[in-house]
Amino acid sequence: MATSHNLTSDGDDDVVLGRLLPEGGFKLYRHKNAEKMRTKNWHGYYWARRTGEGDYEIRSVPSTLGEHSVPGGVFTKESFEQHYEKADS
């Protein structure tokens, strides 16, 4: 699946998401059906990393410049991998 890794302050492709990468081994993931979702201003991306238990800790990927990544909780491995896939780097 081809994915876009760039967002502008308007949610368009322009600002490299890598500049927003939180510290601590997070990798970029995207909802498998993000294009079909009708959630306004939601791009489908999350930063995620595996926990010691094998689940996924997630952080937001801001949709506008100047916003900070915030914690989103922990999802079970099965639940997260059912809906998200690693984005191309």
pLDDT confidence tier of residue 10, bands split at 50, 70 and 90: very low
d(CA 76, CA 23): 21
- In this prediction, residue 89 has a pLDDT band, given cuts at 50, 70 and 90, of low
pLDDT band at 34 (very low <50, low <70, confident <90, very high): confident
pLDDT digits (tens, 9 = 90+) for 37-72: 777 667 888 999 999 999 999 998 887 777 788 899
CB 47 within 8 A of CB 61: yes
Assessment of whether the complete model's pTM goes beyond 0.95? no
Report the C-alpha gap between 63 and 77 in whole angstroms. Answer: 25
Count Cα atoms within 13 angstroms, Cβ side, for 30: 19
What are the sequence ranges of the domains in the chain? 6-86
The helix or strand, by DSSP H or E, that contains position 49, with its residue range, turns out to be: strand 45-50
